[in-house]
Amino acid sequence: GTAAADDIDAQVQWRSVRAPIVARSGDLVQAESLARAALDMAMKTDALILQADTYCELAEVLRLAGRADEARAAINEAIALYTAKGDVVSAARSTAWCNRLPLVSSS
């Protein structure tokens, strides 16, 4: 039913929206835990935009944690999902966000 799907949406959204806020307060472990829980839930749905949005929030948490390579990987997942859904605006916004990430040297 719709109620169950809406409930999952709500469960995913409060976690994914909260995650970067928690990260900015300094609790990066809790933030990543929230973001990954949201992503796990989102991936059980067929809502590509929800999944993509959740990858974006995870990417922001990883960026705040100074893990640019992982943030880039997460945002690329989001871009692929937005593109698959035909959401060119969100794909472009995510690409621009990714381009602002610091380039991390492997040395």
What is this structure's pTM? 0.90
What confidence tens digit (pLDDT) does each residue in 41-65 have? 999 999 999 999 999 999 999 999 9
The pLDDT, as a whole number, for residue 102 is 85
Mean pLDDT of 71-78: 98
- Cα atoms in the 13 Å half-sphere on the side-chain side of 85: 18
What confidence tens digit (pLDDT) does each residue in 87-99 have? 999 999 999 999 9
- Which residues lie closer than 8 Å to 101 by C-beta, 6 or more apart? 63, 68, 71, 72, 75
Mean predicted lDDT score pLDDT of the chain: 93
Mean pLDDT of 37-41: 97
Asked if 94 and 78 touch (Cβ cutoff 8 Å), the reply is yes
Residue with tokens 């380039």: 103
